[in-house]
Structure 1
Amino acid sequence: MNPNKKLNLQPVDRVATISPQDFVEKYVKPQKPVVIEQLTHDWPAYEKWSLAYLKDIAGEVEVPLYDNRPVSAKDKFNEPHAKMKLKDYVDLLKKGPTQYRIFLFNLMKEVPELQEHFKMPNLGIKFLEKLPFLFFGAENSSVFMHYDIDFANILHIHFEGKKRCIIYPPSETKFLYKVPNALISLNEIDFNNPDLEKFPALKLAKGYEAYLEHGEALYMPEGYWHNMTYLTPGFSMSLRTLPKSAKNLGKALYNLTIMRGFENVMRKFKGEDWIDYKNKRAYRRQNERLEK
């Protein structure tokens, strides 16, 4: 089944290279996504980085793993589901499909040598040098639809293999079955093959789609929803900036303090009843909006 015929998606703009002035004027200011195809071609990482290389240079590092199990009151906010040495995880990826993913991991902190393999892009905005996060996934593993807690502008750079990215601007939140007091849409929605009879509001959401190959970079403006699917085993690095909008900076501070703290308290004292309530509320609220 071709999901493009179901979701309202358009291709993300693609450029080979771009000047800092054009990047800011055409994409940062209007908050529009773009794929930069040759951003990393002069990085040592473009030639060096692969799953095999990272296994060799960082194999003994213990990494946190996440899977696609439904959100549970037993877990704290963004708490990993398992841990494993990177060399064992790479072996697991190469054996075949697994739902275990690495999420928001700063491998450069554990292996400083990797910092010498890339440079902060000259795109007219300042990226946070100490927060280059890595993400790993197996063939067909998919990250649930979400937006980032800090409302950062993100440069998502893929290595090895191919990845599909479905993204939506914040304006489409009203159609995405957002879970209350959370950064996610309903976990049961498969954005690669959505059930539009059960979730009809998705037909109204206007989003973008991009396919990333080795070394390509996707710019996602602040607050953008994103769902990533690894079409082959691979990994990506995200560089980020603080939100430029004062409103989004305020939202980020709220998420990092009040929202996250409140969520952990409610999971502790209300347990699965809290999770069930939020999921039912997300579905009911979306249907009420459609009726209006």
Structure 2
Amino acid sequence: MQLQEIPRVKNITKEDFVARYVKPQKPVVIQELTKEWGAYEKWHLNYIDHIAGDKTVPLYDDRPVSHEDGFNEPHAKMKMHEYIKLLETEPTSYRIFLYNLMKEVPALQKDFEWPDIGLKLVKQLPMLFFGGKNSKVFMHFDIDYSNILHFHFHGKKQCIILPPDQTRYMYKIPHSLISREDIDFDHPDYDKWPALKKAKGYIANLEHGEMLYMPEGYWHYMKYLTPGFSMSLRAFPRKPLNLAKAAYNVLIMRHFDNFMRRQKGQDWIDYKNEQAIIKTHRELGIQT
């Protein structure tokens, strides 16, 4: 893939952020947006353990999608204290994904401020994400096409993101939000996945307290370089077409996919995986 570094700024005004990044739908890393937050000093794994160690959390790993799995259904559950101990002692593929810990532990809401940055953020949906060293979040885009402010804490995280116009190269699984799960996006095999050679996107390594702006509908692949966690704040899509796509995904697509899994089982998953290759190569005129 053809990846360029995401631009970085220390701080930015609301007007410049909207004009330079939101309107043209370009990503940016803002390095010091969280410097005045309590979270900047406090949000490390030991603090989360102290304040939320008794909470039972849903865990996901990197196993391929199965027809037996429900939509975003966790693979395991564990006490937060046990999970953080696991993160700190050994590599693990277990991640916390889309967990509203703010609702479970309201005290965390006092540690950050809703940034006045020109986006109308959805205040019911601050989500936390945790991962161990080298754990990966599969390449996907979000079901609601939100504009995302993605803040990282405790350690380092690598983010590879691609705009929606690169979907034709991504081996997208039909009736889903993901690429083929057997693609290694750290070291793509271009003989097996030739379309990826044409994909153009961005890359950034986030440090503690930094924020990545991901415009609506962007593909993203995340890799935890060290144990750590992130928080995403969301704003509904500004483009009417993306709002319509979000409504379709939420109201129709995911329910249809779950229905077909129940009806056809693993055959449905296998069919979709085959179609991802067939449709991608046919559209691009790639002979295989």
Shared fold (TM-score greater than 0.5)? yes
Partner of 2:34: 40
| Alignment match, 1:166 | 160
The structural deviation recorded for 1:95 is 1.4
**1:120 Cα deviation from its structure 2 partner:** 0.5
- Cα distance in 2 for partners of 1:190, 1:289 equals 22
Structure 1, unaligned stretches of length 5 or more?
1-6
Counterpart residue type for residue 265 of structure 1: F
Alignment size in residue pairs: 286
Q: Deviations over 1:272-291 (max 9, x none)?
A: 00000000110111121232
Match of 2:280 among 270, 286, 290: 286
**1:174-205 deviation line (CA, Å, top 9, x unaligned):** 00000000000000011111111100111100
Q: Provide the residue aligned with 1:3 in structure 2.
A: none
Q: How does 1:64-79 map to 2 (within 5 A)?
A: 64-79=58-73
Normalised by the length of structure 2, the TM-score is 0.98
Structure 2 residue corresponding to 1:128, chosen from 122, 125, 134: 122
Task: Tell me the distance in 2 between the aligned counterparts of 1:284 and 1:195.
Answer: 17
Q: Matches of residues 1-292 of structure 1 in structure 2 within 5 Å?
A: 7-291=1-285
Q: Take 2:189 and 2:91, find their aligned partners in 1: how far apart are those partners?
A: 23
**Helix, strand or coil: the match of 2:270?**
helix
After superposition, what is the alpha-carbon deviation per residue over 1:74-94, rounded to whole angstroms, capped at 9, x for unaligned? 011111101111010001111
RMSD between aligned residues: 0.7
Inter-partner Cα distance in structure 2 for 1:126 and 1:250: 18
- Aligned letter for 1:72? S
Q: Quote the offset at 1:257 in angstroms.
A: 1.0
Q: Separation in 2 of the partners of 1:125 and 1:154?
A: 10
**1:235 counterpart letter in structure 2:** F
- Is there any run of 5+ residues in structure 2 with no aligned partner, and where? none
TM-score normalised over the length of structure 1 = 0.97
Tell me, in whole angstroms, the C-alpha distance in 1 between the residues paired with 2:252 and 2:118: 32
Cα-to-partner distance string for 1:222-245 (whole Å, 9 max, x where unaligned): 000000000000000000001101
Q: Percent identity?
A: 61
Distance 1:155 1:240 in 2: 6
Counterparts of 1:103 and 1:74, CA distance in 2: 19
Moved over 6 A (4+): none
Query: Secondary structure of the residue that 1:145 maps to in structure 2?
Result: strand
Query: Could you tell me how far apart the structure 1 residues matched to 2:93 and 2:54 are?
Result: 21
Name the SS of the counterpart of 1:25 in structure 2.
helix
Distance 2:58 2:18 in 1: 35
Task: Report the Cα distance in structure 2 between the residues aligned to 1:223 and 1:152, rounded to whole angstroms.
Answer: 7
Deviation at residue 215 of structure 1 after TM alignment: 0.1
